[in-house]
Amino acid sequence: MQKLYIMSACILLGSCSSFVTRKEMNSSQVTHQELREIIHEAISPIKEKLALKNAEEKDKAALLANSSESEDTTEALSIDESEGPKSSTFDPRSELHLDYSDELFTFWINYFSKKSPERFTRFMVNGDRYKEITQKVFKDHNLPEDLFFVGFIESGFNNHAKSHASAVGPWQFIKGTAKRYGLRVDKHIDERRNIHKSTVAAAGYFRDLYNIFGSWELALCAYNAGEYRIINAIRKGNTRDYKELVRKKLIPKETIYYVPKVAAAREIFMNPHKYNLKAVTSPETIYEHSDLVEIGKPVDLRKLSKHLSVSLDDMKKLNPDILHYYAGTKRGKLSVVVPKTKTTLAESFRGSKKVETVREVASGSDQYYYVQRGDSLYSIAKKFGTTIRELKAANGLTRSFIYKGQKLVMPDDSVSAKKYVVRNGDNLYKIARKFKTSVKKIVTINSLKDMTIYRGQELSIPQG
């Protein structure tokens, strides 16, 4: 009956088997409450058996204690008790005490320190940059600060990391799990890449996993392999003991290696000299003195950087989740990361909603064009009725290499253009009529792939 219930639950979740990995979880299929109820039903028989077994063991211990056993027996019993639960001063929610195979731990120590020291050193540099930010978030959520090392082995704290399974960012969230924990993922913003926002989501996920499984070993296994795969292993093995599940080979090999891998990364990071690695302290960066500020309105990073007197390059580094320069709000909310000294100034920023509807690209006698994705000097020259040679001469270019966002000066005889910010109800036909041009010209000059435009989007309008 129990098996039928679990199978039915998994069918409702859209799974062909009794587990769904972290890479496949779809947030629209199950709520947090439903997840807990299903998991509770799945492991309750195991809990009952374990409780019965514990009660029997206590009865046996009581009988032995009351019997006239020798001193050796009494001493042996006291030793057994000393190997029982940790002291009451240990808080499993705020300390990451892990039990794992010494052999696998040694394997990872040797791998990181001897086979791949350069890569591990690079990870240490990145990790040191974000350590204070991530550990503060975990501390605020009453979680072990050493969960920092999960992000360390997941991505090396590369905000742009992307796996073959489309897991993205320092915590390697897939889209479904990211949305389930409050992150925004769309064509304009991918908050999985933002260290501040994604770490808060990771804290929520870790908290739920610990509440479900009751041990950090199993919580980390579930983070790696998915909640349902670990539940399936628990049911098959009739145990929630991590080392017993490993012994029975009921969890994937990669997941068996995962817990000692986290422990080994922590050991080397904390004691680099012991393993012939140099202690790493990354130069003080803008990340360590940054904070999250809710703007609440659409933001153009170019305008915000000018408002804050912070370089555009720094603003892009602080906000890798904003995929282009412009980001609109969703449900009236939009948060950006700014230097701590600029938080008050950032809160006064009105966003990009209030910009002038039309403004000239030209500044004085010069006309500018910002390079867009897919542009080349040939396509730009064609758009503005000039030549590649004239474009290079106007911008002092010796090669044909250009990059997205680059500001190019247009030669004096090129076609002039204006900027228009799309409003509610606009379409390309209406805009073309308004400025006495053609839809084709607008599409061409803006490198649009189709006729889709959105409110707040900046369009170049060809003139003349």
275, 300, 325 - which closes a domain: 275
pLDDT per residue as tens digits for the range 373-406: 778 888 887 777 778 888 887 887 878 888 887 8
Q: Is residue 205 part of a domain?
A: yes
Positive or negative CA dihedral for 442, 444, 447, 451? positive
Expressed as residue numbers, the domain containing 157 is 102-275
Single-letter amino acid code for the residue at 321? D
Same domain (yes/no): 341, 374: no
Are residues 380 and 414 part of one domain?
A: yes
Dihedral (CA of 222, 223, 225, 227) sign? positive
| Cα distance between residue 400 and residue 345, in whole Å | 39
Is pLDDT above 70 for 314? yes
CATH number at 181 reads 1.10.530.10
256 and 340 part of one domain = no
Task: Let me know if 407 is exposed, middle or buried by CB neighbors in 10 A (0-12, 13-18, 19+).
Answer: exposed
Say whether both 327 and 433 belong to one domain.
Answer: no
Residue 43: the pLDDT is 52
Q: Residue 194, class by beta-carbon neighbours within 10 Å (0-12 exposed, 13-18 middle, 19+ buried)? A: buried
Other CB atoms within a 10 A radius of the CB of residue 456 amount to 22
The whole-angstrom separation of Cα 256 and Cα 19 is: 17
d(CA 458, CA 444): 14
Do 228 and 108 reside in the same domain of the chain?
yes
Q: Is the dihedral of CA 220, 221, 222, 224 positive or negative?
A: positive
User: What pLDDT was estimated at residue 117?
Assistant: 93
Show the tokens assigned to 302.
């170019």
Residue 68 lies in a domain: no
pLDDT digits over 443-459, tens only? 877 777 778 888 778 88
- Model pLDDT, residue 68: 39
Q: Tell me the two tokens of residue 49.
A: 């058996």
Alpha helix stretches (DSSP H) within 275-409:
301-308, 312-318, 343-347, 377-383, 388-395
In this structure, are 310 and 399 located in the same domain?
no
- Pair 162, 297 in one domain: no
233 and 117 within one domain: yes
**24 domain residue, yes or no:** no
Question: Which residue, 275, 300, 331, sits at the end of a domain?
Answer: 275
Among 159, 135, 130, 157, residue whose Cα is nearest residue 147: 135
Contacts (Cβ under 8 Å, ≥6 apart) of 282 = 125, 126, 128, 129
More confident of the two residues 295 and 312: 312
Which of these ranges, 3-7, 102-106, 370-374, has the smallest mean pLDDT?
3-7
pLDDT tens-digit map of 127-181? 998 999 999 999 999 999 999 999 999 999 999 999 998 999 999 999 999 999 9
One domain for residues 201 and 322: no
SS3 421: strand
pLDDT of the residue at 38: 53
121 with 215, same domain: the answer is: yes
326, 347, 368: which is the final residue of a domain? 347
| Domain presence at residue 1 | no
- Based on the domain organization, do 167 and 215 belong to the same domain? yes
CA distance 71 to 125: 56
What CATH number is given to the structural domain containing 444?
3.10.350.10
DSSP 3-state of 195: helix
Q: What is the rounded average pLDDT for all residues in the chain? A: 77
Could you tell me if residue 299 is inside a domain?
yes
- What pLDDT shows up at residue 82? 32
- Among 143, 291, 254, smallest CA distance to 205 is for 143
For tokens 């979680």, name the residue. 143
How big is the chain by its Cα radius of gyration, in Å?
29
Residue 201 and residue 93: Cα distance in Å, rounded? 17
Residue 391 and residue 318 in one domain? no
Query: Does some domain include residue 76?
Result: no
Instruction: Tell me how far apart the alpha carbons of residues 138 and 88 are, in angstroms, rounded to a whole number.
Output: 22
365 vs 461 pLDDT, higher one:
461
Q: What is the DSSP string of 261-299?
A: HHHHHHHHHH-GGGGT-----PPP-GGGGEEEEE--S-E
- Residue 325 or residue 66, greater confidence: 325
Residue 35 lies in a domain: no
Mean pLDDT on 15-35: 43
pLDDT beyond 90 at 429: no
Angle among Cα 305, 308, 310 to the nearest 5 degrees reads: 55
Place of tokens 């296994």: 221
- Residue 92 resides in a domain: no
Count of domains in the chain? Answer: 3
